[in-house]
């Protein structure tokens, strides 16, 4: 998954998720927040509701500024074009059930037609009482922010989806030869 990520913040958040999800307690090589300015403003948390919507539970200020409105309790899937909504829903379910991060690459467009490339990383958040009904997300523009000229993003479209990589299980077959 990490080889598909383009933005350095995406690499950082996927590395952090991997370290936190492993049993390794070595924190000596952990990067510091100072190493990644503007990262916190691009983070968001999604929560799954009883009616199977993925709503924003928390949204960074940079995302709110780019979208041009408050997104708390707004359905994440509704930010995308109609034809892409089922793909986004499937990716969210894959991240939830796959217990590993997934990646979206797409385009964000303003009402006046300016377009920028985006990358969205999604990683499941586990806790004993939430059963992976929360997802940590990172919304990154891949350059061209100046093209927006302060105009809010109106809609998103999917260009590529990289679902979670399933862990490879070793075969449980053992060959025994008897002579």
pLDDT digits (tens, 9 = 90+) for 100-119: 899 999 999 998 888 999 99
pTM of the full structure: 0.80
Contact 119, 104 (CB under 8 A): yes
Residue 9 included in any domain: yes
Would you say residue 169 lies in a domain? no
The band of 3, judged by pLDDT with boundaries at 50, 70 and 90, is low
Is residue 36 assigned to a domain? no
Identify whether 179 is part of a domain.
no
The model's pLDDT over 135-179, given as tens digits with 9 standing for 90+, comes to 999 999 887 777 778 889 989 999 999 998 876 666 677 777 777
Q: How far apart are CA 36 and CA 118, in angstroms?
A: 18
Q: 21-45: per-residue pLDDT in tens?
A: 666 655 556 655 666 667 788 899 9
Radius of gyration of the chain (CA): 18
pLDDT at position 1 over 50: no
- Average pLDDT value for residue range 56-72: 94
Sheet holding 134-141, edge to edge: 54-59, 43-48, 134-141, 115-125, 102-110, 153-162
11 neighbors 5 (Cβ within 8 angstroms): yes
CATH number for the domain harbouring residue 154: 3.30.450.20
Tell me which of 4-8, 60-64, 72-76, 128-132 is least confident: 128-132
The pLDDT value recorded for residue 171 is 67
pLDDT in tens, 121-130: 999 987 655 5
Is 71 domain-assigned?
Answer: yes
Q: Which structural domain range is residue 62 located in?
A: 2-16+46-162
Provide DSSP, the chain. -GGG--SHHHHHHHHHHHHHHSS----TTPPPGGGSTT-GGGEEEEEE-TTS-EEEEEE-HHHHHHHTS--BT-BGGGGB-GGGHHHHHHHHHHHHHHTS-EEEEEEEEETT--EEEEEEEEEEE--TTTTT-EEEEEEEE-S-GGGGTTPPEEEEEEEEEEPPPPPPPPP--------
pLDDT band (50, 70, 90) for residue 2: very low
Into how many domains does the chain fold? Answer: 1
Establish how many alpha carbons lie within 13 A of residue 47's alpha carbon, considering only the half-sphere containing its beta carbon: 12
- Those residues whose C-beta lies under 8 Å from the C-beta of residue 2, and which sit 6 or more positions away, are 11, 14, 15
């Amino acid at each position: 998954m990490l080889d598909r990520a383009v933005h350095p913040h995406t690499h950082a958040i996927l590395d952090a998720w991997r370290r936190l999800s492993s049993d390794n307690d070595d924190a000596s090589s952990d990067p510091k927040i100072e190493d990644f300015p503007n990262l916190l403003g691009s983070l968001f948390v999604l929560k799954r509701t009883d009616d199977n919507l993925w709503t924003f539970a928390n949204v960074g200020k940079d995302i709110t500024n780019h979208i041009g409105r408050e997104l708390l309790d707004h359905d994440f899937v509704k930010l995308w074009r109609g034809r892409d909504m089922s793909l986004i829903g499937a990716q969210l379910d894959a991240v939830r059930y796959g217990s590993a991060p997934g990646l979206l690459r797409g385009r964000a467009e303003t009402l006046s037609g300016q377009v920028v490339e985006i990358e969205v990383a999604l990683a499941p958040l586990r806790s004993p009482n939430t059963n992976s009904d929360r997802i940590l997300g990172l919304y990154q523009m891949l350059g061209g922010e100046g093209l927006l000229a302060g105009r809010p993003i109106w809609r998103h479209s999917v260009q590529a989806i990289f679902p979670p990589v399933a862990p490879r299980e070793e075969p449980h077959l053992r060959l025994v030869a008897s002579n």
